[in-house]
Amino acid sequence: MADVYPGLDDLDDEVWIPDATTRGWVLLTKDKAIRRRKKEHEAVRRARARMFCIASGNLKSLAMAERFLANAGRIFALCEEPGPYIWSVLPDDLELIYPYPR
């Protein structure tokens, strides 16, 4: 984020989500609560974002990277699917959290 938005310490989710999605990026975050906040949830939906979030935002960077790497094969496969969606990245699995499973 610092490379794309230099000098900004805090950027609203409803700004960076559509911008990153327009760039074709898959979104990796530690903010699972995005799905519960109306503005952010709407940004994911409108931008048709493909998002993967760490279920626990309190993990150290290395532990977060390990979770993404442990699930890399499935994440890459899911990235082929169009959004919008949010998957929670667990230690050794993924859980769909938006749209809510039926």
Q: The domain containing residue 74 runs over which residues?
A: 27-98
Distances (CA, A) of 18 to 11, 28, 83, 84: 12, 14, 12, 11
Distances (CA, A) of 42 to 11, 18, 46, 67, 68: 16, 10, 6, 26, 25
Predicted confidence (pLDDT) per residue in 60-99, tens digit? 999 999 999 999 999 999 999 999 999 999 999 999 988 8
* 31 within a domain of the structure (yes/no): yes
* 13 within a domain of the structure (yes/no): no
* 22 within a domain of the structure (yes/no): no
Q: Judge whether 54 and 32 are in contact, CB under 8 Å.
A: yes
* 74 within a domain of the structure (yes/no): yes
Count of structural domains within the chain: 1
pTM of the model: 0.86
Predicted confidence (pLDDT) per residue in 1-32, tens digit? 778 878 777 788 888 899 999 999 999 988 76
* 3 within a domain of the structure (yes/no): no
